[in-house]
Amino acid sequence: MVGSAFVLKGAPSPAFYDGLLLQSVTPDSVPETIDGWRNVTSNKVDTLPAECFVAQNNFFVPRENALAFEQRWANRESKLKECDGFVAFLMMRRDAKAKGHGIVEIDETTEPSYVSTTIWKNRTAFEAWRKGNAFKVAHGVKPPSERSEENSEDTSAVRPKPLWSKPPSPIFYEGTLMITMPEGA
């Protein structure tokens, strides 16, 4: 923690988000907790093992497109729960009204206004989803069986218009110390 503080230029800049959409599966097992904290054994030499793989997309959505962006996500058919290794999904909207603690107005050109987060059991499960049909359908690409013959290769005609000002920016994490409840993540 102290080592990472040395690389900061100025005070940390917190960002607050409202959770919009949440989806998760029931976990296979729930780890032991003590007073709300995970009971983890460390050898004080090695880093903790990865317990999950987290994929996030940062979206830079102008205010005038916010409602359409949220409706597109709320109305899309999700197949995530059917994917092997899926744990949870969360869509968050930047809380631009938060004040105090160093919060500044959001700059839509340099800061994401929305963040989608998927949690997978491991990177292999994420990669299988990303290369499969569920990913293509979720991202507006019709399966080959539903394309017309003259449009069998061209997928641009079926993709919805982007509502962001620049393409999403992906970030990946190995999750450690994942806390789950019997209901899900």
The per-residue pLDDT for range 17-47, each reduced to its tens digit, is 878 888 888 888 877 888 877 788 888 898 8
In a domain, 106, yes or no: yes
What confidence score (pLDDT) does residue 12 get? 63
Can you give the pLDDT at residue 139? 75
| CATH code (residue 133) | 3.30.70.100
Task: Note whether residue 166 is domain-resident.
Answer: yes
Residue 35 placed within a domain:
no
At 11 the pLDDT is 66
User: 131 falls in which pLDDT band (50, 70, 90)?
Assistant: very high
> What would the mean pLDDT of 81-92 be, rounded to a whole number?
94
Percentage of the chain modeled with pLDDT above 90: 35
**Can you give the residue range of the structural domain that contains 122?**
14-29+47-145+155-175
User: Cα(29)–Cα(48) distance, rounded to whole angstroms?
Assistant: 19
Q: Does residue 111 belong to any structural domain of this protein?
A: yes
In a domain, 52, yes or no: yes
Residue 144 scores a pLDDT above 70:
no
Confidence of residue 2 (pLDDT cuts 50, 70, 90): very low
Q: What is the pLDDT of residue 121?
A: 94
Number of domains, the chain: 1
Task: Convert 1-36 to b/e letters by CB count within 10 Å (16 or more is b).
Answer: eeeeeeeeeeeeeebebeeeeebbbebeeeeeeeee
Residue 180 belongs to a domain: no
Q: What is the pLDDT of residue 143?
A: 61
Tokens representing 61 are 């959505």
Q: What pTM, to 2 d.p., does this model score?
A: 0.76
Q: Is 6 a domain residue?
A: no
